[in-house]
Amino acid sequence: GAFVLWFVLFAVGAAVLIALLGHGGLGRFVMLVYGALAWTVLYPLPAIFYVLLREEKEGASVTEIAAALDEGSAP
């Protein structure tokens, strides 16, 4: 659900940028930067969700979760 929401938000933003700037050189450059920013936001989301859900489920702190992952004992 959350990934679909982020995808829709970025797709709408891209459509607005293309509508405003067109397909010229400036529009392509802005879309390149926009895509890089979108990737920067979306790439760490699975890890963030994992930590938040595990913290909620087990009551473990972020430090404890990171230590368990470093040891390789994550469920």
Query: Same structural domain for residues 51 and 75?
Result: yes
Q: What is the pLDDT of residues 17-47, one digit of tens each?
A: 899 988 889 989 999 999 998 888 878 888 8
Q: Quick one: which of 46, 57, 52, 34 has its CA closest to 3?
A: 46
Give the whole-angstrom CA distance, residue 12 versus residue 63: 36
Query: Same structural domain for residues 6 and 20?
Result: yes
Query: Same structural domain for residues 35 and 5?
Result: yes
Query: Same structural domain for residues 34 and 70?
Result: no
Task: Please state, rounded to an integer, the average pLDDT across all residues of the chain.
Answer: 82
Contact 19, 36 (CB under 8 A): no
Q: Kindly report the length of the chain.
A: 75
Query: Same structural domain for residues 29 and 53?
Result: no
pLDDT band for position 59 (50/70/90)?
confident
CA angle 42, 3, 33 (to 5 degrees): 35
Query: Same structural domain for residues 31 and 15?
Result: yes
What type of residue sits at position 65?
A: I
Query: Same structural domain for residues 28 and 62?
Result: no
